[in-house]
Amino acid sequence: MLHLFKYRFIQVTRDYANIFWTLLFPIILGTLFYFSFGSSGLAGSGETPWDMVRVAVIEEDGTSVQAQAFRTFLNEMDGDAIEITDITSEGKALRALKEEQILGIYYVKDTPSLTVSKNGIQETILTSLLETYLQNASIIEKIAINHPENLEAALSSMEDYQEMTQDTSLGGKTLDPNVHYFFALIAYACLSGAFLGLQSSNDSQANLSPLGARRSVTPTNKLVLILIDFITLFIVHLICILILNLYIAKVLGISLGDRPGVLLLVNLMGCMIGVSLGIVLGCIARFSINIKTGFVVALTLFPSFLAGLMFGNMKHIIELYCPVINRINPAAVLSDAFYCISVYNDSQLLIRSLLTLAAMSLLFIIAAFYRIRRERYDSI
């Protein structure tokens, strides 16, 4: 068996076309993803530091009570949500705003105002701060006029700010919305093991290749040959997937979670489903190797498309309208497993995903074995 394993391993690793599709192509695609989406937020622990919004404060009228109150409010927010610069001249502030050195200008006067140069998340934060202040000031003013006896209680309730939410961790290492593309990419790479399995199946059938003819007349039991092929292909493909994982995690800096044991288990199941899919596709139909290769291309790309490799929201759309597809799509199942490792802890979903992959692999292997062992040839 060691002899068979050794030469089968050499033969598989020298099949450069299949090695390209199972290793180099996913690495190239992952690199393109990385530069397309940018490195922002893809790396790290998911705890992205909050950048304070730089603003300038121009005092047009600092004598009124309302202006002084607004200035006090801004000073309290300085270092929390905003960063007040030392720019005090309106002309310099407008030039800094145009050059995007600051993102807003607050005017301190009887009726405070804000100037921004564009619409964006940070500009919306500045607008929300001003609106919140004006609303609270209006409420306090009305209470002071209509019910002055309740003014102290109202001020006390505003100061007694209570958080109604509780911080909790999802257990993962990243919350970047683009990371699902890389999960789908690894799933696609796992399914690309079907190219290796297809070639192995072709090499085992006497009517398809000279190597298959020689192997068919050997006294070695067919089950042993199938197991040797499967183990060899599985190890080669696992090495390729682990290299891809290391490249994504260490070179691109994209977190794949902090549970290497579970990650290895998911990769094992992904390699198993990919190789077994190729073997069974090579056995069940009497087509040429080119036609079967076309089937393999379709059955690796289409499930990956449904899992979000080309269109990120596709898996969510399917989950909304036809969730059963995500339950039987191996790429989607693999993507869910990676989500459980890297984004949130859901042991129930992880176990379900692993069991689904194991059941599919076992079904494919059994089908391939019964198909090959029934092969009989009139002459070789």
DSSP classification of residue 51: P
Range in 43-57, 243-257, 271-285 the model is least confident about: 43-57
Amino acid code (one letter) for 329: N
Q: How many other CB atoms sit within 10 Å of the CB of residue 256?
A: 24
pLDDT band at residue 232 under the 50/70/90 scheme: confident
Q: What pLDDT, on a 0 to 100 scale, did the predictor assign at position 375?
A: 56
Q: Does any domain span residue 168?
A: no
Q: What's the pLDDT at 2?
A: 75
Residue 221 lies in a domain: yes
Which has more pLDDT, 274 or 217?
274
Task: Please give the mean pLDDT across all residues of the chain.
Answer: 79
**Per-residue pLDDT tens for 290-348?**
888 888 889 889 999 998 888 878 888 898 889 899 999 999 999 999 888 887 777 88
Q: Are 71 and 147 found together in one domain?
A: yes
- pTM for the full model? 0.64
Band the pLDDT of 162: cuts 50, 70, 90: very low
Name residue, tokens 């992952």: 30
Q: Which domain holds residue 24?
A: 2-44+174-373
Of residues 118 and 319, the one with the higher pLDDT is: 319
Kindly state the tokens that stand for 200: 């192995």
Residue 88's pLDDT band, with cuts at 50, 70 and 90, is confident
* 24 and 58 together in one domain: no
- Residues 93, 194 within the same domain: no
* CA 83 to mean position of chain CA atoms: 33
Q: Which of 125, 154, 183 is the last residue of a domain?
A: 154
Asked if 219 and 194 sit in the same domain, the reply is yes
Same domain, 204 and 276: yes
Residue 44 banded pLDDT, cuts 50, 70, 90: very low
Name all contacts of 138-144 with Cβ < 8 Å and 24+ positions apart.
none
pLDDT at 125 exceeding the cut of 70: yes
Give me the mean pLDDT over the 99-124 stretch. Answer: 84
- Under the banding of pLDDT at 50, 70 and 90, the label for residue 71 is confident
Number of domains within the chain: 2
CA distance 264 to 160: 49
Based on the domain organization, do 186 and 96 belong to the same domain? no
Instruction: Please write down the long-range contacts of 300-305, taking CB distance under 8 Å and 24 or more positions apart.
Output: 300/188, 300/191, 300/192, 300/194, 300/195, 301/188, 303/191, 303/329, 303/330, 303/331, 303/332, 304/184, 304/187, 304/188, 304/191, 304/331
340 & 207 share domain: yes
Please tell me which residue, 357 or 225, carries the higher pLDDT value.
357
Last residue of a domain, one of 92, 122, 154: 154
Range ranked top by mean pLDDT from 146-150, 293-297, 369-373? 293-297
The model's pLDDT over 191-223, given as tens digits with 9 standing for 90+, comes to 998 888 887 777 666 555 555 555 555 655 666
- Predicted confidence at residue 239, as pLDDT, reads 93
Q: 189 pLDDT band (50/70/90 cuts)?
A: very high
340 and 205 in a common domain: yes
- Output the 3-class SS for 46-90: CCCCCCCEEEEEEECCCCCHHHHHHHHHHHHHECCCEEECCCCCH
- Say which DSSP state 176 is in: -
Q: Which residue has the tokens 């969730």?
A: 323
pLDDT at 353 over 80: yes
Last residue of a domain, one of 85, 119, 154: 154
- Does one domain contain both 96 and 202? no
pLDDT of 45 reads 42
Gyration radius from the chain CA atoms: 31
The answer to whether 84 and 38 have CB atoms below 8 angstroms apart is no
Do 63 and 210 reside in the same domain of the chain? no
Same domain, 326 and 220: yes
Low-confidence winner among 48-62, 187-201, 346-360, 365-379 (lowest mean pLDDT): 365-379
Residue at token pair 């068996």: 1
Which CATH number characterizes residue 149's domain?
Answer: 3.40.190
Residue 59 maps to a domain: yes
Q: Do 227 and 292 sit in the same domain of this protein?
A: yes
Q: What is the mean pLDDT of residues 248-264?
A: 87
Asked if residue 161 has pLDDT above 50, the reply is no
Vertex 276: Cα angle to 282 and 209 (nearest 5): 30
Average pLDDT over residues 17-36: 87
Q: Would 60 be classed as within a structural domain? A: yes
Q: 379 in a domain, yes or no?
A: no
> Residue 161: inside a domain, yes or no?
no
Residue 76 lies in a domain: yes
**Burial degree of 84 (CB within 10 A; 0-12, 13-18, 19+):** middle
- Residue 160 included in any domain: no
